[in-house]
Structure 1
Amino acid sequence: MEAEKGIESLILAIEMVDDYTKGHSKRVQEYSLLFGETLKRAGYPVDLDVLSTSSILHDVGKLQIPAAILQKKGRLTDEEFEVIKKHPVVGAEIAEKLNYSKDIISTIYHHHERYDGKGYPSQIAGENIPFLSRVITVCDTFDALTSNRSYRNALTPHQAKEIILENMGTQFDPSFEPYFRQVYPSLEEIALNKSEVQIAPTLFSEKYGS
């Protein structure tokens, strides 16, 4: 219970910095668990506890990004984007200070890497990217595309699906494609409703490195 309260407090703090991301972390967690369960049934090595905590905290590093940048309407300058790109590193540092496990820290650190090596912060590629980071990347992108942001309106779930499928093999792990297609109807339902999603209640055994 205390672990859940601590996570709730962190998510509330993130959303106070950037109102446009309200509900984003919780939805990414729900999408990630649905996708992770699908992959696990297919034989992939998915630790749902690590995935649950990593996905809900993936953007915790935005706590140290200026609100003026997070809420800016219009295109970011190159300098502002460089600041945004620091949030996975900062998030991993926060997770380390809070004594989360190494797997959670690494997953948060690498959640903006791309399969083709053109992501950040480490520009690693393919299977060198932690597996759960690759899962969260898909779900983070799906929610970002289907949500209103300060610089654009939300896309439809179908439009978001097509963009993700088009980028399999470049931004996303191409082996995920059939499983993303499989789980998509569940993701679409959540995206269309945008109802308040609750933090998964029982998946916190990886909390504080235990």
Structure 2
Amino acid sequence: MENTSLSSQMREYLYTEMSHGVKVSNLAEAVARELGEDEEFCRDIAVAGLLHDIGKLWVSKHMEEAGNRETLTIERMKIVRMHPTHSCEMLKREEYPERITEAVLYHHENVDGTGYPENLRGHQIPWMARILRICDVYCALTTDRSYRRAFDRAAAMEIMIDEAEDYDMKIFLAFQRVLHNEAGEKLRALCTVLSTLQKEHLPLFVKEAELL
């Protein structure tokens, strides 16, 4: 975040999205390992988790252009729901592997077919995307938002259990094991845990912000 050509508002937004990406990346890798995935898969899902919301940089710009948030609620929601597509396009432009770009594109799909952008169901959704879906929801729930305080781990789990039809059950059970095992206590500090792999890919956020 040493770039000084970006506005303070964009720098703050970048920090928020990068921090969320790090949390999802670390949790998704932990869940993948719990599921017995190999090192290549774990590396790829760590990258996908880090960059899954990079398309929100595009969203941030176009939300401002959409005008008053009270009168254009539907239009603004449509813009927000375009972020997986723009994330995927950004990563394709950088020639990321297809397994990563597909996981990013479909990380808001639900196994019951209620997600977006394509309302995929069950095994139509890539395995990696199904893992990201669960980790993204948990990290979002346990983070402060402008409209609410972060939920604690127990409350977040209660919410997710109530919405369990959205998730792949095998992955959801593995995710719960990760949260409840001894290493799960380290999840509280996920934003401060940066791997060499993550440091390698984080600059893409700044690069894309400069292109907007």
TM-score band (shorter)?
0.7 to 0.9
Aligned to 1:30, what secondary structure does the other structure show? helix
Question: For residues 36 and 46 of structure 1, what CA distance do their matches in structure 2 show?
Answer: 11
Structure 2 counterpart of 1:48, from 27, 42, 51 = 42
Q: Is residue 2:104 matched to residue 1:113? A: no
Which residue does the alignment assign to 2:168? Answer: 173
Letter of the 1:117 partner, please give it: G
Q: CA deviation at 1:199?
A: 3.3
The question of whether the paired residues in 1 share the 8 Å contact of 2:113 and 2:120 is answered with: yes
Residues 104-157 of structure 1 show CA distances to partners (whole Å, capped at 9, x for unaligned) of 111110001111111110110111100000001111110100000112110011
Q: Please, which runs of 5 or more residues in structure 1 have no aligned partner?
A: 6-12, 205-210
Q: Is residue 2:63 matched to residue 1:63? A: no
Q: Please, which runs of 5 or more residues in structure 2 have no aligned partner?
A: 2-8, 201-212
Question: For residues 39 and 111 of structure 2, what CA distance do their matches in structure 1 show?
Answer: 18
Q: CA deviation at 1:195?
A: 5.0
Q: CA deviation at 1:58?
A: 0.3
Question: For residues 138 and 167 of structure 1, what CA distance do their matches in structure 2 show?
Answer: 11
Which residue does the alignment assign to 2:77? Answer: 81
Q: Counting helix residues as a fraction of each chain, which structure ranks higher?
A: 2
Q: CA deviation at 1:46?
A: 8.0
The TM-score with structure 1 as length reference comes to 0.77
Q: Give the share of equivalent positions with the same residue, in percent.
A: 25
Aligned to 2:116, what secondary structure does the other structure show? coil
Say what the alpha-carbon RMSD is for the aligned residues: 3.2
Letter of the 2:94 partner, please give it: L
Q: 1:190 to 1:141 in 2, by over 3 A?
A: farther
| Larger-gyration structure (1/2) | 2
Q: CA deviation at 1:52?
A: 1.3
Question: For residues 149 and 185 of structure 1, what CA distance do their matches in structure 2 show?
Answer: 25
The TM-score with structure 2 as length reference comes to 0.76
Aligned to 1:60, what secondary structure does the other structure show? coil
